[in-house]
Structure formats: C-alpha cells, structure tokens
Amino acid sequence: MTKKERYEQVLTFFESTQPEAETELLYDNPFELLVAVILSAQCTDVRVNATTPAIFRRYPTPQKMAKASFDDLFPLIKSISYPNNKTKHLIGMANLLLEKFNGEVPMTVDELIQLPGVGRKTANVVTSVIDQQPNMAVDTHVFRVSKRLGLVSNRATTPLAVEKELIKYIPEEKVHKAHHWLILHGRYTCVARNPKCSTCNLQAYCKYFQTEQKKQQKVKK
C-alpha cells in the first residue's frame, strides 16, 4: 500500500464514521476557545470543561480578564495543570489582545503566537476550529496515531515535522477535520497504553497493528 493509498483509506473511514468531528472543548466565542485551549495544555478536555464556566462567568471578555489580579484568577484555575503559569499567561494574553489587537482574537498563526501561553499548537487549534484554516495542531494523540497508522515517516521526530507531513498529504479542505479525527481516535481507540486494536476498524491500514500481528505469529511459531 502506498502512502497516498493509506491516506485515502484512512480519511475515507473517518469521513464516513465521524463526518461532524469537532473539538470537545466547550466555548461560545473565539476568546473563550483561546482561553480553553491555553488551559488544555497537558490537561484533559474534561477537566478544562469543568473549570471554564466559572472563569467565563467572571471574565467573559479580554477587557475583564486583563483587569484580573493573579490572586483573583488563580483560585479558578488551581485544579488545572500548571496553574501558576497559566494564570499569568491568561492575564498577559488578555492585556496583549487589548494593546495590540483591539481586544479581538487574531486569526493568523503568526499573530496568535505573540500572545503569552500561545504556541504553534494552540494557534493551529484556534485558527482551524474558528476559521477552518488548513492548520494541523499536533498534540500527543495526533503524533501517536499518525505514527502508528504509518501516515508519517520515522524521520518525523518532532511535532512540526509531523505537521508538515500530514499537511502535505491531507487535502487542504479536510485538514481542519482531520485534526479532530486523529485526536479523537487517539483519545478513545488508539490510546497510548494497550490500544484497542481488536475493535479498531483501521486494522487493514495500520502499520502498528500489522507489526504487532507479525510479532505474535513469530511467538506462536
């Protein structure tokens, strides 16, 4: 199977089974999504969704969050991973939105990464979710799943390298959905430990599964 064929089969499967795949983070506007994605770094979406309602009620706009003190915002974030840094990032992010972007969340990766707490992955998430831009955010799930399926080569050892390979082969109009397809597959099926290969419908296209099958056959012999 060529790489092109592998991509076609995998994308066809996801399109037929999850045509409306989207982020599991809860938000009502670009600012709320930006806050949620910053908080989601090395933290589960479930935990973030349990935390953000209180934050959004108290600080619904950049204007209000920019005025927050560390001691006011921290208690609302303390259950999230790295709460000290994320509290500082959110306040700094809100202030810079006001100073540089008129209180509006910018919609380019280059502009977004200027904000405190916003790296390339976060910027890619925001622009792909809000604006459906063909940007691929590579988190641990995307990295793991794309490697196991054989969508990216062994030479791709960094998130940026994986992102570039995925973008090269995924049709531009499908990139924003493919991001969610890979994340959700990694979150619920192709998990880090003990992946659920026996119930996965991508066995025929998965290099990891095929390698594991060969190992088991050798053991039986």
| Residue 131 a catalytic site member | no
- Read off the tokens for 20: 């409306």
| Residue 196 a catalytic site member | no
What's the rounded Cα separation, in Å, for the pair 219 and 71?
59
Question: Residue 175, Cα to own-chain centre: how many angstroms?
Answer: 12
Long-range pairs for 115-118: beta carbons < 8 A, 24 or more residues apart: 115/34, 116/88, 116/89, 116/92, 117/38, 117/41, 117/85, 117/86, 117/89, 117/90, 117/92, 117/93, 118/34, 118/38, 118/89, 118/93
Question: Residue 191, Cα to own-chain centre: how many angstroms?
Answer: 15
DSSP sequence for 91-116: HHHHHHHHHHHTT----SHHHHTTST
Question: Is the dihedral angle over the CA atoms 5, 177, 132, 103 positive or is it negative?
Answer: negative
- How many Cβ atoms sit within 10 Å of the Cβ of residue 13? 16
What's the rounded Cα separation, in Å, for the pair 3 and 67?
51
Catalytic residue among 86, 139, 147, 177: 139
Residues noted as catalytic: 121, 139
